[in-house]
Amino acid sequence: GAVVSQHPSWVICKSGTSVKIECRSLDFQATTMFWYRQFPKQSLMLMATSNEGSKATYEQGVEKDKFLINHASLTLSTLTVTSAHPEDSSFYICSARGGTSNQPQHFGDGTRLSIL
């Protein structure tokens, strides 16, 4: 089956630093990638949708300058949390979809981000 690799799986960093999370589709071309945020025992909240070669579309309430998304190739999207603060600590999950929209989304294993 389709595989999506997300890296790192866990990162701890100091407040004020920037953190980059990578999402790679290993065996298919991901025309669209999605980034979600999840707090403990809560649902996944969509942050943004990115299409290869285009600017990401952010959901209402998500700060574009805080969460930078780049989808430069058909196999890689990155989420950069800029000037991270403790309130940015969360679980971030990416998913990728290839081809037409009736293709299923394949999820990465998520990244646990802890800001000290």
Partner 1 sequence: AQTVTQSQPEMSVQEAETVTLSCTYDTSESDYYLFWYKQPPSRQMILVIRQEAYKQQNATENRFSVNFQKAAKSFSLKISDSQLGDAAMYFCAYRSANAGGTSYGKLTFGQGTILTVHP
Residue numbers at the binding site for partner 1 (CB under 8 A): 32, 34, 38, 41-44, 46, 49, 91, 93, 95, 97, 101-102, 104-105, 107, 109-110
Contact 34, 79 (CB under 8 A): no
Q: Contact at 8 Å (CB) between 36 and 44? A: yes
As measured in angstroms, the least distance from the Cβ of 16 to partner 1 is: 27
Q: Residue 46: what residue type?
A: L
Report the residue number, 42 or 54, with the smaller CB distance to partner 1. Answer: 42
Shortest distance, CB of residue 66 to partner 1, whole angstroms?
A: 21
Q: How far is CA 54 from the centre of its chain?
A: 15
Q: How far apart are CA 33 and CA 105, in angstroms?
A: 9
For partner 1, the closer CB: 43 or 87: 43
